[in-house]
A = this chain, B = another copy of it.
Amino acid sequence: MFESWLVRSREQVEDALAAHLKEIEAGLGTHSRLADAVLYSVKAGGKRLRPILVLEACRACGGRAETALPAALAVELIHTFSLIHDDLPAMDDDDLRRGQPTNHKVFGEGLAILAGDWLATHALGLVAGVRIGPARMPRLLQALVDGTERMIAGQAADIEGEGRPADRELVRYIHRHKTAALLETCCRLGAICGGASEEPTEALARYGQHLGLAFQITDDLLDATGSVEQTGKQVRKDAAASKQTYPAAFGLDESRAQAGREIEAALQALAPFGSRADRLRELAQHMIERSA
């Protein structure tokens, strides 16, 4: 039941993305390979968890998922932009992403930077196409901008924290901003598109933040203990780069325990929603299980 829902939701996102990518390709033309660079990373796939989260948060508030679709695409494009820039030599210097060469390995650093810039800009523009009451549009734009700004601030703290002794307060800041802020934003966007009032919007945002923290701690654990086959990307990079991670700051056992506590807190935030949040509950369980 959960699995078939996940497949259907992913198809809904992939169909909308494919249609939108055709528009992007036609609009960008052929005066440079910018369109190729943009499409390469968006098509590289991934689990599309963020847009699915937007759609399901909208549903949990009683809205129609179709209303939230442009916002869902926007978040996926913001996520793609962040991956392209994070992989650059001046940042995390990754050659491999989802088992494929990273954007700058294929198109060069200049075009990779511009592809990320273009995706971020375009994503924020998608807000203009969401069919909600005009009074809610500034809130929607502000929520997406806030989440993206916090994500960027988290990445800045991440690259500047490299090589320094593990610092628990700094690790918490980095994870809360670099990863959790965008998942929190997914929930907030879905709630706004679903017509939710302040209280349920903030409850879903808390769910998204705890989910995001669990997600990033799990990611740290996979880098520390997983394989290339399992993750589709290079592993042991964090330790090699002396990154600020949960395992480095808290140890493996405490990190696993903390991930579990974050999932508990995420589930608690969903209590007011009753059965309407069942899919979001299952999604949280699903995300923590990938580290098992």
Q: Does A222 contact B (CB under 8 A)?
A: no
Pick the 3 closest A-B CB pairs, nearest first. A125-B145, A134-B134, A90-B109
Size band of the interface chain A makes with B: 35 or more
- A95-130 near B? 1/0 per residue, CB < 8 Å: 000000000000011110110111011101101110
Cα–Cα, bound, A109→B109 (Å): 12
CB proximity of A165 to chain B, nearest CB, Å: 15
Cα–Cα, bound, A137→B153 (Å): 27
Which of A26-34, A191-199, A280-288 makes up part of the contact surface? A26-34
Q: Does A85 contact B (CB under 8 A)?
A: yes
Q: Does A138 contact B (CB under 8 A)?
A: yes
Cα–Cα, bound, A142→B122 (Å): 9
Binding site for B on A (CB under 8 A): 28-29, 31-34, 81, 85, 88, 90-91, 108-111, 113-114, 116-118, 120-122, 124-125, 127-129, 134-135, 137-139, 141-142, 145-146, 148-149, 152-153, 155-157, 159-161, 170, 173-174
A138 partner residues in chain B, CB cutoff 8 A = 128-129, 134, 137
